[in-house]
A and B are shown apart, each in its own frame.
Chain A
């Protein structure tokens, strides 16, 4: 007997009625039929932003990805290879530079 009560609202609530795909309920379905569904060519194109498999998730399901952006490249540092190359070129053209 099917449960006709509204499915539990996601933790974030009011008014959101979209629940996760119930595909798992149909695990009894013949494997070949499931494959056929996929073969019906209904996948989105490769370069499209995909539909998410779930509607809601918490921070636990998000990647930390901390410290991925650097600003220190713009510090007053002229000791890298490229700076040395530039220094040498300027010297070659007669510019005198104090060594740091």
Chain B
């Protein structure tokens, strides 16, 4: 591949297409493949040669791909992105014309992935020069991927083996990556609905399913649906390939706050293994009911938590921490009628600013409302009266 001529390359492409060898053709179009570094193929105007050997729209598709390798060799990612949009457009024309066959799916995966990556690179390049609106190119790339998605989703005629529906989850994952990046999570909804109602949902490859669950898990977390979030992220974490430590770590970053909100604390061993010791003090603080330590831990690693987009979720752990602190007061005083003042003592020990009995009542009322405490406030006696049965229900039963 390193030394072949343009003619040889085009011959291989022609054969691949004629033989419906989607996988090999995909390699000939993919930037993961070494042919893109071959200077004989990096051409600014290969149209004529392509037209001589290939039928439309493949001639246009391959020509645009070669122009793309030329642009990339010049580090011009904006031009590369433009070329790639032509590649995808031409591919889609061919793909739509394939009736009841899906041999070209590997090609679609290759060109779709490169489209998103070039959109990323192009935006970065423009931003360095102070030009270009953030998200512009990614949004346009998303539009093109949606066009591909529609072709796949609407394939109702072919039998399962030949269905283009096998392409849906891969595209959804690419779209998720874009929507998360440009913070347009609401656009994920119709895609999630499409997969949920698909009979292929559990048949896609494990790689695609793990990626999918990672993103829907994050979305559920963002929507405060913590139980589903736990389910999705746990699946992703459990089934992620063991050699993809980076991905495992990323899943864990979002699984941790969700698990903690549901009352499950990570072991130190887990945090050490995945280099997430930033959560160590948070975990300890929450499980102890130590509000002071929690505030310190959040402040200490604020930058990290904000960058990961979990700072606000971690703030919700304050509620759990109040619950744990007050539960300790109950356990220490060993009575069902707890003076409000005792909670005030606890909060003052935690250096909570400007706290008074009114504030205590407010916090207690909230905890009762949320189901974290079973009881009521007796204003006459200035006491919290708790249920004799299970006054502090387990966290996993609450949310």
A interface residues, Cβ below 8 angstroms from B:
2, 4, 7, 10, 12, 14-19, 21-23, 26, 29-30, 33-34, 36-37, 40-42, 44-45, 47-57, 61-63, 65, 67-71, 73-74, 76, 78, 80, 82-83, 85-87, 89-90, 93, 95, 97-98
Contact = CB atoms under 8 A, between A and B. Distances in A.
A36 B69 CA distance: 12
A32 B48 CA distance: 30
B373 interface: no
A20 to B, nearest CB: 10
Nearest to A77: B331
Contacts of B75: 40-41
Nearest to A72: B265
Interface of B: 1-2, 15, 19, 21-24, 27, 31-34, 36-38, 72-73, 75, 77, 102-103, 105-106, 109, 113-114, 117, 120-121, 160-163, 166, 170, 177, 181, 203-208, 210-211, 214-215, 237-244, 246-248, 250, 259, 263-267, 269-270, 287-290, 307, 324-325, 328-329, 331-334, 341-342, 345-346, 349, 394-396
Contacts of A18: 23, 105-106, 109, 170, 205
A89 B241 contact: no
A4 B240 CA distance: 32
B236 to A, nearest CB: 9
Given A50-B247, A61-B242, A4 B19 contact: yes
A74 B161 CA distance: 51
A67 B267 contact: yes
A89 B2 contact: no
B241 A62 contact: yes
